[in-house]
Structure 1
Amino acid sequence: MSAGRGAEKALPAHTRQANRSLILRTLFHNDPMSRADLARATDLTRVSVSRIVDDLSAEGLVHESGPSPEGRVGKPSTLIALNPDSYHVVALDLSAHAEITGAIMNLDGDIVHSVSVPTDGARGAAVLVKVCALASALVKRSTVRVLGVGVGSPGVVGTDGVVREAVAFDWHDVDVAAAVAAVVPVPVHVANDANAAALAARTYGQPGVDNLALVRIGQGIGSGVIVGGVLVTGARFTAGEIGHVLVDEGGEVCRCGRRGCLEVVAAVPYIRQHLADAETSSDDVLAEAGRALGRVLAPVVAALGLEQVVLSGPLDIVAGVFLDETRAAIEHHSLAIVTDDFEIRVAVRGEDIVLLGGTALVIAEQLGIR
């Protein structure tokens, strides 16, 4: 009987790759460090650290940033820092439906160049053609090596880069990763847009938080969930699909064909429509939407023991009353012990969160930085 994967022996090459990722991850999340500091922080030997740092330096991924501050006895140590401009990442955000946004990003998540292309109502294969063309153009435009392409797509997305279903684009079992990979000479990674945003919230927001949900309030509503530092996708890749949870049996008809889904109460188009109604105050509209979201999130927070919920969407909607009522509803529908140290906040750089997510996806897969 053959041994299972869990019983496979770790090869030296695997160990070297893991140690390389550990050093890159440590430098990514910290200020410049000496080789001795890296050895202490990673529990690796100084010899191993020096060898890996030399290799990374030859590749251009790290560089010397000067001597350590004075105060220590003896010759100052040389500090090592990650070089964020050693590679670029091409990130694509497909979540807006009406347009595709692409950007060239550095490893720190800074936008080097961005462009948006209207979809002009295209669906099916026609949208995919636009996605591939934009990815190819951005890879060619980059002035440094491109580490990979990261795509945040609406819908149900498998770990193989196949979009199982995206209603907005009429995509069903579309291999987006393969299509893009056919026109670019670099690795391609595709994830659900909310899952990508969740990776961004942890990688570029608060890396010390291992249990969080990122909720995208946009044309629809979706969430990405990270538990124990790992993105949760579920057996059918539908984890976090909360937009069509029923919140009002007598509510409006949703695009999915049912009545009273969370989306028809709390997604941006419906909130904007209700805000335009002069008979209803804006605070009442936002409060109702926030309460509905909070009721849906409460069992998720309780069941998974989440430390944090991050809201991403237009600030005039998700901040203020909406945020406050979401928090209040989660607390009301949960035991006090569940929400004692719980935090809910608005995403940093929320308008770029999917682009950041595409970048986070690539650096996680290619460099082991999470």
Structure 2
Amino acid sequence: MVEELLDIGLVIEVGIKKEGAVGKPSKMLDLNPEGCYSFSIRMFLQKIELGIFSLTGLAIVKMEAEYNQGNELSVISESFNTLMAQAKLKKSQILGAGITFVSNKEHNLLTYQKSMDFKVALTETLALPIATENTASACAAYQMLYGEAKHLHSFVCVHISDVVEAAVVYDRSILLGANGLTGAIGEMFVTPETDEKTVELGRLNDFASLNSLQAHFAKSFTSQEALMEYCYNNPKVFEQWLEKSAEPMRIAIHSLETLLNCQTIIIGGDVDSWFLDKFITQLRPYIPSIAQYGDRSVVRLIKVPKVEELTLKATATLPLHAALSMGNMQTLSLPPFNSLEPVQQLIYLAE
């Protein structure tokens, strides 16, 4: 198998590992940064973020495109051709595409089933393998491959966006659950008070999501970037929201630790680094939990570094992550065999 990967240029030899005087020295391998690439797609309410990345996580080209309901496939196809021309790449060099959908309280861009249907339609349009998971799961895949979780076996990724998502990783596998929707921790009840209209308990989304932040400002924003800018320019009102959101998030973190006893929780989102710094500072001191017992090799909460750059890059890891085990393959849609490039046949169909 290694010889096939070397022949196709997906991996390269990077040196010799001498383990002692007995036996043949081991050849060390690494992914070839120029061997293959991944197409990344993030779907928002009215815009799409797209990019081409190397399988080592390096951004080659990126762009944004607007779309109207009904022309998403054609916009993605045109954008793909534009990016390929800019990167001077051939389609035979693309392993596959990853796609994530950004939830919105006013318009759930696609329900879970519709997202599966969209993935199949996109597979036919691009004639590429397409992998999809929620954004938190994509971030977890990235952290295992390149980031803070390369040496961890059990952790949770929390992603703060319009809603709060999470990905639970156990034994280096992302738990998808019965229907692929595991990780909707924004639906977790975190307060005893009830809503006057619905008579329901307070959910984490009501306090710690970007939707709740917009509601706090009593304003609508055209983009998450615009929301971040407004927070930066209105620190007093923003800090009021931080104080209100801290205790519900502390309760959610305590619940995750108590139920899962994970090695750590990695927190990021569709936010800026300064936002995340202030948010995490507000969470301390953490609620005492079973996470404090036993020997710890990592801290209880890890901040995603350079969080602004992560989500599109993380989405690009999904085609590679899907290939790492049969369990991950359920996130993938494949085009007909005769449409597959040699590298795709080797990675996805080799027995």
Equivalent pair of 1:147/1:187 in contact (CA under 8 Å): yes
Match of 2:61 in 1: 113
Identity in percent: 18
Partner of 2:293: 337
The CA deviation string for residues 97-144 of structure 1, in whole angstroms up to 9 with x for no partner, is 34211110001111000011134xx44x44455445444654566515
- Residues 266 and 109 of structure 1: is their aligned pair in 2 closer, same or farther, counting only changes over 3 Å? same
How does 1:21-170 map onto structure 2 within 5 Å?
52=2, 54-65=3-14, 80-94=29-43, 96-119=44-67, 122-123=68-69, 125-135=70-80, 137-138=82-83, 142=87, 143-144=89-90, 145-154=93-102, 167-170=107-110
Map of 1:172-251 to 2, 5 A cutoff? 173-174=113-114, 175-205=117-147, 206-248=149-191, 249-250=193-194
C-alpha change, 1:268 and 1:191, in structure 2 (3 Å) is same
Q: Distance in 2 between matches of 1:191 and 1:166?
A: 21
Q: Residue deviations 1:160-205, cap 9 Å, x none?
A: xxxxx99432546221221111122321111112211111122221
SS in 2 for 1:286: helix
Q: Deviations over 1:197-226 (max 9, x none)?
A: 111122221211111111111222111111
Cα distance in 2, alignment partners of residues 310 and 139 from structure 1:
33
Cα deviation code 1:250-309 (max 9, x no counterpart):
46989xx96733223111243354469979564443233132112123222221111111
Q: Which has the larger radius of gyration?
A: 1
**Structure 1 gap ranges (5+):** 1-19, 21-51, 156-164
What residue is the counterpart of 1:310 in the other structure?
266
One of 323, 329, 343 as aligned partner of 2:280 = 323
The answer for unaligned runs of 5 or more in structure 2 is 218-230, 329-351
Count of paired positions: 301
Query: Aligned pair in 2 of structure 1 residues 235, 170: CA closer, same or farther (>3 Å)?
Result: closer
SS of 1:301's partner is helix
Moved more, 345-354 or 301-310: 345-354
Give RMSD over aligned pairs: 3.9
| Residue aligned with 2:98, SS | strand
Q: CA deviation at 1:237?
A: 2.1
Tell me, yes or no, if the aligned pair for 2:163 and 2:209 is still in contact at 8 Å: yes
Distance of aligned partners of 1:279 and 1:184 in 2 relative to their CA distance in 1, 3 Å threshold: closer
In structure 2, the CA distance between the partners of 1:79 and 1:260, relative to structure 1 (3 Å rule), is closer
Q: What's the TM-score, normalizing by structure 1?
A: 0.68
Aligned partner of residue 53 in structure 2, secondary structure: strand
User: Which residue in 2 is equivalent to 1:347?
Assistant: 304
Q: Which amino acid aligns with 2:160?
A: I
2:256 is aligned with what amino acid? Answer: V
Change (3 A) 1:193 1:88: same
Deviations 1:28-76 (A, max 9, x none): xxxxxxxxxxxxxxxxxxxxxxxx3x3322211233446789xx9xxx9
SS at structure 2 position matched to 1:240: coil
Post-superposition shift, 1:78?
A: 7.3
The range that moved more, 287-296 or 301-310, is 287-296
- In structure 2, give the amino acid aligned to 1:187: P
Relative to structure 1, is the Cα distance of residues 127 and 199 closer, same or farther in structure 2, using a 3 angstrom cutoff?
same
Determine if contact 1:152/1:190 at 8 Å carries over to the other structure: yes
Distance 1:167 1:333 in 2: 37
Q: Aligned partners of 2:195, 2:236: CA distance in 1, in Å?
A: 16
Residue aligning to 1:46: none
Question: 1: distance between equivalents of 2:17 and 2:167?
Answer: 40
Within the candidate set 181, 193, 206, 1:264 is matched to 206
Greater relative contact order, per chain length (Cα 8 Å cut-off, separation 6+):
2
Correspondence for 1:292 among 248, 252, 255:
248
Code of the aligned partner of 2:189 = L
Please say if 1:365 is aligned against 2:325: no
Q: Is contact 2:73–2:125 with CA below 8 Å preserved after alignment?
A: no
